[in-house]
Copies of this chain bind each other. A is one copy, B any other.
Amino acid sequence: MINKEEFRKKIIISSGQIFRRFGFRKTTMDEIARALKIGKSSIYYYFASKEEIFEEVVLYEANVLRNELTTAIKSVESPVDKMRNYVFVRMKAFEKLANYYNAIFDKNLDHFDFIETVREKYDREELAILRLILYDGARKKVFNVSNSEYTALAIQTTLKGLEVPLFWKKKELNIEERLNAILDVLFYGIVK
Contacts and interface: CB of A to CB of B under 8 A. Distances in A.
Which of A22, A26, A170 has its CB near the most chain B CB atoms (within 10 A)? A26
A10 B77 CA distance: 55
A121 to B, nearest CB: 30
A160 interface: no
A21 interface: yes
Interface residues of A, number: 4
A170 B20 CA distance: 12
Contacts of A21: 170
Interface in A21-73: 21-22, 26
A88 to B, nearest CB: 20
A187 to B, nearest CB: 28
Interface in A151-192: 170
A129 to B, nearest CB: 31
A177 to B, nearest CB: 13
Contacts of A170: 21
A50 to B, nearest CB: 16
A21 B102 CA distance: 11
Nearest to A170: B21
A23 to B, nearest CB: 9
A94 B36 CA distance: 28
User: Which A-B residue pairs are the 4 nearest by beta carbons?
Assistant: A26-B26, A22-B26, A22-B22, A21-B170
4 contacts: A21-B170, A22-B22, A22-B26, A26-B26
